[in-house]
Amino acid sequence: MQKPYYEKPKFKLYQANCLDLLAELPENSVDMVFADPPYNLSNGGITVHAGRMVSVNKGDWDKSKGFKDDYDFHYKWMEACCRVLKPHGTLWVSSIV
Ligand SMILES: C[S@@+](CC[C@H](N)C(=O)[O-])C[C@H]1O[C@@H](n2cnc3c(N)ncnc32)[C@H](O)[C@@H]1O
């Protein structure tokens, strides 16, 4: 198992690639997952923030790798979440509409 980035009794925080970390967890072992994944929007576009036009450039992690690769990544991490979640577990995903 990877070394926690931060640890307290009954609490561990990891900083890792989610696919690597989820693969280390036993199946049916997690009650709830909350995810705020990349939205793949940092591709030179603009948005409105606090009434002003600003560039959408959050970093390389948010750049689209094309529809198929983006889809494959999102499918993989959600599939990995489903594997570790208990049968009545909950998956919360932060997203945009
Ligand atoms: C929408 S942001 C989340 C921001 C966070 N909620 C906050 O308030 O700081 C998405 C985050 O996912 C991280 N990320 C991207 N790919 C990842 C991966 N494969 N595994 C784990 N984290 C990843 C990015 O570094 C980024 O911090």
**Each residue's pLDDT tens digit, 55-76:** 989 999 999 999 999 999 999 9
Do residues 13 and 3 make contact, with C-beta atoms less than 8 angstroms apart? no
**Counting every residue, how long is the chain?**
97
How far apart are alpha carbons 40 and 60 in whole angstroms?
A: 9
CA of 38 to the centre of ligand 1 (A): 6
**56 Cβ closer than 6 Å to some ligand 1 atom:** no
**18 Cβ closer than 6 Å to some ligand 1 atom:** yes
CA of 37 to the centre of ligand 1 (A): 5
Task: Write down the pLDDT at residue 44.
Answer: 87
CB atoms within 10 A of CB 17: 11
Task: Write down the pLDDT at residue 1.
Answer: 83
Backbone angles phi, psi at 79, to 5 degrees: -65, -40
Residue nearest to atom 15 of ligand 1 (CA): 61
**pLDDT higher than 80, residue 97:** no
| Global pTM value | 0.90
Task: Write down the pLDDT at residue 72.
Answer: 98
pLDDT averaged over the chain? Answer: 95
Residue 46: band (very low, low, confident or very high) from pLDDT cuts 50, 70, 90: confident
Strands 11-13, 46-49: pairing is unpaired
- For 19-23, 48-52, 89-93, which range has the lowest pLDDT when averaged over its residues? 48-52
**pLDDT higher than 90, residue 47:** no
